[in-house]
Amino acid sequence: MKVGIVGAGTMGAGIAQVCAMAGHTVTLFDLNAEALTKAKASIEKNLDKGISLGKLDEATKANALTNIGTTDALENLVCDLIIEAVVERLDVKIQLFQTLARVNDDACILATNTSSIPITQISAAIPHPERVVGIHFFNPAHIMKLVEVVSGAHTSEQVAQTAYDFVKQIKKVPIMAKDAPGFIVNRVARHFYVEGLKVLEENVASHEDIDDLLQSSGFKMGPFRLMDLIGVETNFSVTESMYNLFYQDGKFRPSRIQKQKVDAGHHGRKTGKGFYTYA
């Protein structure tokens, strides 16, 4: 299958890697040539780590890298399946899919990696909206097994099943979800972050103590270390979106502390500073 990935950030690179490792011909698109170069380097670094851990061999790495091409021209993205991993803005995703719909034939499946934007809102503005589906990976995409396959009001059963089968073929664990705010995982997990931030706002404990307490209770990471890994600004954007989609339900209220981090550019590991400081 010819797979297109739009967006060469952390998520896009990770998705491109797992698709290429499963034998698909992948074209990774980004307007920024430097982002494409960084994505290729990141993918190679991930593969090298897999080799050092004994999970991959050199032949697997070579095949995966051979399967990945890059482009900064959207008209070159002619594929069977295209997965977008761009900024969480409805207008941007609609404009992107409208352009891709003109470039590709009607059989091309257009998939969004959105964390919270309703699939139905995206598909409503796209020709042949039945081919629009959510394929939601979790960060880091090359490690995390779970993938949500989300059907909007227009998504055909055939397209949803094709997406489900594709996720299984790339050795991930798919779950079917309906088009509701936050789908399944982000709706349930939102309070992991929101309540942790409320405890911090109320000066009940420091973010370090909250993280340590939850990790000692069995969680692999506390909310603040996890936000730094995901991206503080990405996490805030999802919370803000869900707050509005649930008509300002107080239990989803975004945090002023997190907003200040976003405004300061303290986005976590990728910027070297978030709730923690990184070398």
Q: Hey, which residues are catalytic here? A: 115, 136, 148, 186
Per the omega criterion (within 30 degrees of 0), is the bond before 223 cis?
no
In 23-139, which ranges are E strands?
A: 25-29, 68-71, 81-84, 109-112, 132-136
Q: Report DSSP letters for 2-16, one per residue.
A: EEEEE--SHHHHHHH
| Locus of tokens 């020709």 | 127
Residues 220 and 246: their CA atoms lie apart, in Å, by 29
> CA distances (Å), 268 to each of 48, 202, 203, 259, 265, in order?
24, 22, 21, 13, 9
Q: Are strands 132-136 and 146-151 parallel, antiparallel or unpaired?
A: antiparallel
Task: Count the alpha carbons within 13 Å of 238 in the hemisphere toward its beta carbon.
Answer: 22
Closest among 131, 192, 179 to 151, alpha carbons compared: 179
Spatial neighbors of 228 by CB under 8 A, at least 6 apart, are 268, 269, 274, 275, 276, 278
CB 241 within 8 A of CB 117: yes
Spatial neighbors of 132 by CB under 8 A, at least 6 apart, are 97, 110, 111, 112, 119, 122, 123, 126, 152, 154, 155, 159
The amino acid at residue 106 is D
